[in-house]
Amino acid sequence: MLALIQRVRRASVSIDGSVVGQIGPGLLVLVCAEQGDTAAQADKLLAKILKLRIFSDAQGKMNRCVQDLDGAGLHGGLLLVSQFTLAADTSGGNRPSFTQAAAPDLGRALYEHFVQQARSAHSDVATGVFAADMQVELVNDGPVTIPMRVVAGA
């Protein structure tokens, strides 16, 4: 499973001009399932994201995770958006290949599992809509943008 994590001041996702998900400060997470990915990998990816220490502590060091923000009297949301294009292979020319992306049925199942697990573990979770044509708006904080991959057996 792949993710691109962005620390944001705010983020939203819209479909046909209507906002379907939004957060204030927190993490915008673009999520991609690849061929052969499993629910166990999705769970491991989510656990890593929830504990990723990329928010500032009182000394200004990146030492807090999104879950620490609630305990510090702040608010940290998660906006989870499916994005199969993270699996792009550009080694063969100028047109990306997406053959490593999971088939739509598996991709949807893993994305929905990821969202369900996130909602069980975190108080503020918003989403996009799987396979929809979405417009994502964000104010990247820092900027902080981190790619993450969890592979089988890792």
Query: Considering 6, 41, 84, 114, which one is annotated as catalytic?
Result: 84
Active-site residue flag, 67: no
Query: Considering 6, 83, 117, 127, which one is annotated as catalytic?
Result: 83
Query: Considering 85, 116, 135, 145, which one is annotated as catalytic?
Result: 85
Active-site residue flag, 85: yes
Active-site residue flag, 114: no
SS (H, E, C) the chain: CEEEEEEEEEEEEEECCEEEEEECCEEEEEEECECCCCHHHHHHHHHHHHCCCCEECCCCCEEECHHHHHHCCCCCEEEEEECHHHHCECCCCCCCECCCECCHHHHHHHHHHHHHHHHHHCCCEEECCCCCCCEEEEEEEEEEEEEEECCCCC
Q: Looking at the annotation, which residues are catalytic?
A: 83-85
